[in-house]
Amino acid sequence: MRVSQMLIPTLREVPAEAEVVSHKLLLRAGFIRKSAAGVYTYLPLAWRVLEKIQKIVREEMNREGGQEVLMPIMQPAELWRESGRWDVYGEELIRFKDRHDRNFCLGPTHEEIITDLVRGEVNSYKQMPLLLYQMQNKYRDERRPRFGLLRGREFIMKDLYSFDRDEKGLDISYKKMYRAYSNVFSRCGMQFRVVEADSGAIGGSDTHEFMVLADSGEAEIVYCENDDCSYAANVERAISAVGEDSSNEVPSRLQEVHTPDVGTIEELTSFLDISAEKTIKTIIYSADDEIIAALVRGDREVNEVKLYNELNCLHMELASAEMISRVTGGNMGFSGPVNLDICIIADHEVKNITNAVTGANRTDYHLINVNAGRDFEPDKVADIRMVQAGEACPYCSSPMTGARGIEVGQVFKLGDKYSRALEATFLDERGKEQYIVMGCYGIGISRVLSACVEQNNDEQGIIWPGAIAPYHVVIVPINVKDNDQLNMAERVYNTLSDNGIETVLDDRQERPGVKFKDADLIGYPLRITIGSKALESSELEVKKRSSGDIVMIPEENVCEKVKSMLSY
């Protein structure tokens, strides 16, 4: 293509609305334009990248036996009522009525539709395993659409669903997808980590997330530094090492001390001159209709996802100040487990503290020398705290590193959650009716594009990995009014194009500086400059975007050299 004919509206200014680098660069380099919050048009360059990502995904899905389908985006409410999700999905689900007053939603995911399809078409064990997938727009009315394509309200997803006759079959399908996903992200040229994740509202058991490491990532992960161990998890899920009380201290007498205006752990530790590890933080929550207390060591944070799972409730939130004083008798900041008459859930570490300091359930007072088992008895001891970077790995005790990640994909064992709700059954070898065992597997195609930019950029712009670059080469004639230069540029352009190398010719009547800036901003892997020197010597200057290295290559070898420089 000739750049003069292409829609690549680059911008010099950094758009004010963009917070993260991928959003800024995709706007500036003319890849995307916004229609509404979280709703974008993909311009020609972006669409080429998206098609390449989709091609890689398709190849890897097909390699594992996936069959592509395309399901409706418009989904009838009846199916969502059958699965029980119409009422629980909440405001993220975009709902509407047709002219006959029938309820519909725009698909945020397709478990209902696919399970409905499969229950009608599959009735024997002989028809499984079955792996069906599609790539299409998904709709989620996110509370905070942001970061451009990273968190949109309309975005492209690949979703695959596996159908097996038993758990063993599901294990195999799950492994296939795990392998396929690793291949997809490696082929896209991304640095990623697979982490254990929380199964959350979808239900089911095993689940892993594929995280692209980036400082702007919304997810926090920890991973073990020991390469032989390889434990890695989303912090929502990360298991904390239990540890033990290593002090030889003897329990002392429980005492109340006056601590005026000392309501935070920092104030408490400096007032009493103790370390935070000797304190117990008591956080009061309202969980469905009950008020509960969660205890963690003073230097730790409650992990609300773990707590929520432990409580097995539908709705959980921090208790109000008013509720706290009503149930404890003291103001917020002075709660403690001693003589507290509500359900108490303590983190493992809490019972290891000898002579701890806690709130006294009386404003401006704390208790010292509090000992679990003697002064209070938790109703439950469980892992409810947030793992922090630097902590010991729960499996091998090596230190763990913290990092931020962008979730680009997730694999999920659903089990019979949907097949049971929608009565999707089959007859096994003995003619017995069984529920189909399912898994679901998603990749955020449009998020992958952004995540890739997030990982591959510099001050000048995007640096596309060869495999998903919109084009491989841009040819820049220095002076397009010079016919000889333009002819040479055309000749090289035709040679490369005829050999399957995706090339654009920047034939615009612009200063070379402008074209160079655009080339760097857009991030073509290679730039070939053609000026008077090239005409004299028949040597072409080729610049590699990623390293900035410049090599001179004779025109007659251009194809072979360019191909080897692009090797990906």
Nearest distance, CB of residue 422 and Mg ion, angstroms: 22
Distance CA 268, CA 262 (A): 6
Residue 111, interface with ligand ATP (CB under 6 A)? no
Nearest distance, CB of residue 135 and Mg ion, angstroms: 17
Q: Which does 333 bind (CB under 5 to 8 A by kind): Mg ion, ligand ATP, none?
A: none
Residue 407, interface with ligand ATP (CB under 6 A)? yes
The residue of the chain with the least Cβ separation from ligand ATP equals 444
Nearest distance, CB of residue 219 and Mg ion, angstroms: 9
Contact segment (CB under 6 A) with ligand ATP among 10-18, 160-168, 323-331, 405-413 equals: 405-413
Which of residues 443 and 473 has its CB atom nearest to ligand ATP in the complex? 443
Direct distance between the N- and C-terminal alpha carbons of the chain, in angstroms, rounded to an integer:
23
Which of residues 410 and 456 has its CB atom nearest to Mg ion in the complex? 410
Nearest distance, CB of residue 330 and Mg ion, angstroms: 40
Residue 204, interface with ligand ATP (CB under 6 A)? no
Size of the site for ligand ATP (CB under 6 A): 15
- Please tell me whether the peptide bond between 525 and the residue prior to it is cis, using omega within 30 degrees of 0: no
SS3 of the chain: helix, strand, coil, percent, to 5:
30, 30, 35
Cβ distance 238 to 387 under 8 Å?
yes
Nearest distance, CB of residue 168 and ligand ATP, angstroms: 25
Residue 134, interface with ligand ATP (CB under 6 A)? no
Distance CA 245, CA 243 (A): 7
Question: What is the DSSP secondary structure assignment for residue 437, as one 8-state letter?
Answer: E
Q: What 3-state class would DSSP assign to 109?
A: coil
Nearest distance, CB of residue 530 and ligand ATP, angstroms: 40
Q: Which does 457 bind (CB under 5 to 8 A by kind): ligand ATP, Mg ion, none?
A: none
Which of residues 410 and 457 has its CB atom nearest to Mg ion in the complex? 410
Q: Which does 142 bind (CB under 5 to 8 A by kind): Mg ion, ligand ATP, none?
A: ligand ATP
User: Which of 510, 508, 540, 542 has its CA nearest to residue 524?
Assistant: 542
User: Which of 313, 373, 377, 384 has its CA nearest to residue 349?
Assistant: 384
Which of residues 407 and 507 has its CB atom nearest to ligand ATP in the complex? 407
What is the separation of C-alpha 507 from the centre of its chain, rounded to a whole number of angstroms? 40
Which of residues 111 and 506 has its CB atom nearest to ligand ATP in the complex? 111
Residue with tokens 């230097």: 299
Which of 24, 85, 151, 176 contacts ligand ATP by CB under 6 A? 151
H and E: helices and strands count for the chain: 15, 31
Which of residues 109 and 361 has its CB atom nearest to ligand ATP in the complex? 109
- Residue 126 neighbours by CB distance under 10 Å: 10
- Amino acid, single-letter form, for residue 289: D
For β-strands 380-382 and 290-297, DSSP reports them as: unpaired
What crossing angle do the helices spanning 445-455 and 21-28 adopt, rounded to 10°?
Answer: 100
Nearest distance, CB of residue 419 and Mg ion, angstroms: 21
Which of 142, 167, 375, 539 contacts ligand ATP by CB under 6 A? 142
Which of residues 309 and 410 has its CB atom nearest to ligand ATP in the complex? 410
Which of residues 236 and 520 has its CB atom nearest to Mg ion in the complex? 236
Residue 234, interface with ligand ATP (CB under 6 A)? no
Q: The tokens of 154 are what?
A: 């309309």
Contact segment (CB under 6 A) with ligand ATP among 151-159, 232-240, 241-249, 305-313 equals: 151-159
Distance CA 499, CA 19 (A): 40
The residue of the chain with the least Cβ separation from Mg ion equals 410
- Amino acid, single-letter form, for residue 447: R
424-453: contacts with ligand ATP (CB under 6 A): 442, 444, 446-447
Q: Which does 158 bind (CB under 5 to 8 A by kind): ligand ATP, Mg ion, none?
A: none
Class of residue 259 by CB neighbours under 10 A (exposed 0-12, middle 13-18, buried 19+): buried
Q: Which does 155 bind (CB under 5 to 8 A by kind): ligand ATP, Mg ion, none?
A: ligand ATP
Residue 408, interface with ligand ATP (CB under 6 A)? yes
Class of residue 168 by CB neighbours under 10 A (exposed 0-12, middle 13-18, buried 19+): exposed
Residue 140, interface with ligand ATP (CB under 6 A)? yes
Q: The tokens of 105 are what?
A: 């939603």
- Amino acid, single-letter form, for residue 442: G
Class of residue 201 by CB neighbours under 10 A (exposed 0-12, middle 13-18, buried 19+): exposed
Q: Which does 327 bind (CB under 5 to 8 A by kind): ligand ATP, Mg ion, none?
A: none
Cβ distance 473 to 503 under 8 Å?
yes
Residue 110, interface with ligand ATP (CB under 6 A)? no
Nearest distance, CB of residue 461 and ligand ATP, angstroms: 22
397-426: contacts with Mg ion (CB under 5 A): 410
Which of residues 349 and 407 has its CB atom nearest to ligand ATP in the complex? 407
Residue 410, interface with ligand ATP (CB under 6 A)? yes
Residue 152, interface with ligand ATP (CB under 6 A)? yes
Residue 132, interface with ligand ATP (CB under 6 A)? no
Q: What 3-state class would DSSP assign to 417?
A: helix
User: Which of 334, 326, 370, 335 has its CA nearest to residue 259?
Assistant: 334
DSSP 59-87: HHHHHTT-EE----SEEEHHHHHHHTHHH
Enumerate binding residues for ligand ATP (CB under 6 A): 109, 140, 142, 151-152, 155, 157, 407-410, 442, 444, 446-447
Enumerate binding residues for Mg ion (CB under 5 A): 410
